[in-house]
Structure 1
């Protein structure tokens, strides 16, 4: 069932809303003229009406029981914010991406960004001039943090209350289309972050229409979405249609599903399974693949297992364990969920399998956690050294560039980009941005603002960080989070940027690195020395790399190589502002070498024999 406003033909629009709670529903047009039109109740508590020759720039509410005026739950645009009237959108657009060829997940190098802090004015149009730089870096997929309409002008996006509407302060529907059109022209795919586990508190009027929420479950952010209780069929339809909406009207290539561990569904067919099925059907009709990527802290391989094998059939999944293993080795932090990590063996296991916790006891959770990801293809796992959550959910929003040395930043970039998984960078990471990424909001309700402030303080308790967190409501908190794009032009920032470019080029052009594959690899680790060695291969080439997480230099004899190897990248070289390398340009098996502290080296050779 299509909902919201849908163009039929010859200026004719249908308005459809699911509203089992009110006794009557009317369409109240408020601009450019005023008119109230009764709607007809049809099957399953949907209300509909059709208008011929609809004038442009129509603004409207739904009037419930002749008393309440509410925005459309499936509004496509809220130019006056979350409390204002909804706006009819004509989705005709001069798309220039007819020849666009979608990029497979296996080939993606993803760059996550927040529209509001990526540029000075925080709009889609301001990102466009930076696309060439990102393309030159080697980025071919942009992951955009949520753009669904949220209250005010400052927000991460996870407080959205109009899942179908594009944030007005970012540039609205036309600005988003213009941005995606330019990305596709430059060969860059778009991944949009969507939130199907909760809605924000301010401007959330869905309860006036029907039982969109359930009190059977609770999320950390409020009532859970009703995916398995009475009336859940229409709630599921609301969110599935939302996914199709982004693919159909905006040419989005993939959706990143936020925190699916907070999507509760004990029904016979899980919502995620139905969603992946519907997206697959849509893909087949369109003759191209649309992707779904999940964020989850469950370590549950069922998420990406195909539906025919009783999985959910999601295309990809974020791997938090990779980040936690890397972060603890680099920083030494061991509080909160970092309590479960800190050994080189954890990082080595993540490099081999993905999930570190695959049924083992978790001290942080006080229970056994996860299941095995051994059989999950590497092309389905997304890894990173930083992202919006892992930075922004720190009290002071510190990036790695503030927490660790320059040598450690290069080490982090190497293990992510040379891993057998899909790499993701967070905006500014590529040049060592040191501005924080803080949590910010711009609510209008004083009680809610205070609740947000207290909630943030409580979140930080388990990490035992000292001091007062920045005020999320203060505009200065938002302004401090804007990246400083011009820093990439000089000093260590420029060196690091070139280092990232070099790594991404190697990843794309070296046959042994260019395809995510766990099976064509061997991983070895030395706990005391804090060394991880990895060998990867394909039909014609082999690569071998050593990562030293020790702050001091280490002598080793590599144990997983044979024959002669040629050095192609060493993070400690002076060309990368390193202290200088001790490593030979040509390495023979059985040879003792010295590797600098917090550095890595990559060797290469043509494959000489079958492995």
Structure 2
């Protein structure tokens, strides 16, 4: 169970030390790993973190490097692991002078954010060593347990041995030397199981040995099923088979046509050899919320009952679940795109670019928050009075119960994809998910659903009507979920 948080908006103070004060909440929730959005310094006081310019440092406004060490120590004392989101594919545009010192950057490749980090052009040997030493730094000197590698498909590397393979080999060596589990999780747009295939195995898929990877297709199919949105890259996930497919295999696009890309995309996962826990799945992430025009969360798109149904599907799935901070109580605060660039030209370009991007999608420019406005940042801070109130409290209890059930139930923890069976009725919007001897029935529709299903009720969420359960079956009300134990 991973919990993704942004230090600057997790608490009102926005520091690593103030985040320590909320670790008890995460322990009670039942998560096991805290994933911190990037901490590398950037000009100004607040930023998502992906504009960092000094990968070896920790942003001073968060408390600096000693505060990170205190946070890691406190998390470990609480029984939580710590994963740090790191950005190795580019440097931020504001205050970035490394390219003037040495060939850290190259024009040989380009990324959506400008020049690529030099991994394969002349002078790249020391640059690769600089990145590998950075990996070692976090494990050795800060005692973090894992690194989330941002957009590894933008690590442009034409060498025979990809830098990802070197990073995974280094991580495994350090794990053996330090005597504790260490791991890497890749964000990848390639839908390639080779990313998480062990090194030296599966040469046909180019195994590089990264330990886990994000699987955005799972998010997209869940989002479309819950909200009905089908614009942009969601269009393909309106296919009737989409949700059923991503509950048993992580990639909807596994070699078939992607209309958003205008080409075939992805590669199938061998369920017999690649376990489901290697794939990180989510209902919400910083990207999927923050890259909406107004930063509206799922809780602003659907009611609490559908939020609970989505949680049931995520937290009983064969994947490694990840929550985005505040998701567990249906936070009413948005999470918007905010920056604090000190270069006026970059600030204005960012502001205009954001408005133009969403203007082309039909949004009124006035609806798109100004990323430079300090209020955009302040609106994105969590409201910690919410978890004790009304539906927020009820949803938080549901998340806690689901996570506890998952942790105590081998069937629901299992990543064995050969043991997963799914029936998804897209017309009626009903999911029947079998996980070993357990059965998860989720009715997203607006009419009751009578199912022949033996077993006892382990957990249920019912608001619209009542759950009727007998020895031979049950009737699941609309927008409800039930977990049946053998």
Question: TM-score normalised to the size of structure 2?
Answer: 0.96
Match of 2:410 in 1: 511
- 1:285-315 deviation per Cα after TM superposition (whole angstroms, max 9, x unaligned): 1122210000111111111111102311000
Cα drift, residue 463 of structure 1: 4.0
Alignment of 1:71-470 (within 5 A): 109-309=1-201, 310-375=206-271, 376-460=274-358, 463-468=361-366, 469-470=368-369
- Which structure 1 residue ranges, 5 or more long, are not aligned? 1-108, 573-577, 606-611
1:206 and 1:212 in contact (8 A); partners too: yes
What is the CA distance between 1:512 and its match in structure 2? 1.4
The structure with higher relative contact order (CA 8 Å, sep 6+) is: 2
Report deviation, 1:570. Answer: 1.8
Distance 2:57 2:141 in 1: 11
2 CA distance for matches of 1:555 and 1:119?
Answer: 42
Listed one character per residue, the Cα deviations across residues 382-418 of structure 1 (whole Å, up to 9, x for unaligned) are 1010010000000100001100011111011111111
Cα deviations by residue, 1:418-475 (Å, 9 ceiling, x for unpaired): 1111110110111110111011111111110011112223433564333431111111
With 336-345 and 150-159 compared, the bigger mean Cα shift is at 336-345
Cα distance between partner residues in 2 of 1:418 and 1:124: 31
Contact 2:433 2:441 in 1 (8 A): yes
When residues 492 and 570 of structure 1 are mapped into structure 2, their CA distance, relative to the original with a 3 A threshold, is same
1:547 aligns with 2:451: no
SS in 2 for 1:569: strand
* CA deviation string 1:492-516 (max 9, x = no partner): 1111111111101100112311333
Is 1:476 aligned with 2:390?
no
8 Å contact 1:535–1:544 — kept in the other structure? yes
Alpha-carbon distance between aligned partners in 1 of 2:267 and 2:232, rounded to the nearest angstrom: 21
| Alpha-carbon shift at residue 373 of structure 1 (Å) | 2.0
Does the aligned pair in 1 maintain the 2:2–2:31 contact within 8 Å?
A: yes
Number of the residue aligned with 2:432: 533
Hey, what does 2:401 align to over in structure 1? 502
- 2:460 corresponds to 1:565: no
Q: Does the CA contact (< 8 Å) of 1:124 and 1:171 recur in 2? A: yes
Secondary structure of the 2:197 match is coil
Match of 2:421 among 508, 522, 526: 522
Task: Tell me the CA shift for residue 556 of structure 1.
Answer: 4.4
Q: Deviations over 1:90-142 (max 9, x none)?
A: xxxxxxxxxxxxxxxxxxx1111000001111001111121112101111210
Structure with the largest fraction of helix:
2
**Offset, 1:262:** 1.1
| Equivalent position to 1:580, from 465, 481, 484 | 465
What is the aligned partner in structure 1 of residue 475 from structure 2? 594
Aligned residues, how many?
Answer: 479
1:383 is paired with a residue of what secondary structure? strand
C-alpha contact (below 8 Å) 1:336/1:462 kept by paired residues: no
8 Å Cα contact 2:297/2:335 also seen in 1: yes
Map of 1:487 onto structure 2: 386
Tell whether the 8 Å contact from 1:567 to 1:587 is kept in structure 2 after alignment: no
Aligned partner of residue 449 in structure 2, secondary structure: strand
Distance in 1 (alpha carbons) for counterparts of 2:449 and 2:310: 21
- Residues 335 and 462, structure 1, Cα contact 8 Å, conserved in 2: no
TM-score, length of structure 1 as denominator length: 0.77
Asked whether the 8 Å contact 1:140–1:187 carries over to 2, the reply is yes
Give the whole-Å Cα distance in 1 for the aligned partners of 2:15 and 2:60: 10
- Is the CA contact (8 Å cut-off) linking 2:82 and 2:145 kept in structure 1? yes
Q: How far apart, CA to CA, are the structure 1 residues paired with 2:360 and 2:128?
A: 35
d(CA) in 1 for partners of 2:81, 2:455: 36
Q: Give the deviation of 1:596 after TM superposition.
A: 2.1
Deviation, 1:344, is 4.5
1:48 is aligned to none
Q: What are the superposed Cα offsets for residues 22-80 of structure 1, whole Å, 9 maximum, x if unpaired?
A: xxxxxxxxxxxxxxxxxxxxxxxxxxxxxxxxxxxxxxxxxxxxxxxxxxxxxxxxxxx
Deviation string 1:175-195 (CA, Å, 9 cap, x unpaired) is 111111010001000000000
Aligned-partner Cα distance in 2 for 1:193–1:498:
28
Distance 1:350 1:381 in 2: 11
Q: CA deviation at 1:258?
A: 0.6
Q: Secondary structure at the match of 1:166?
A: coil
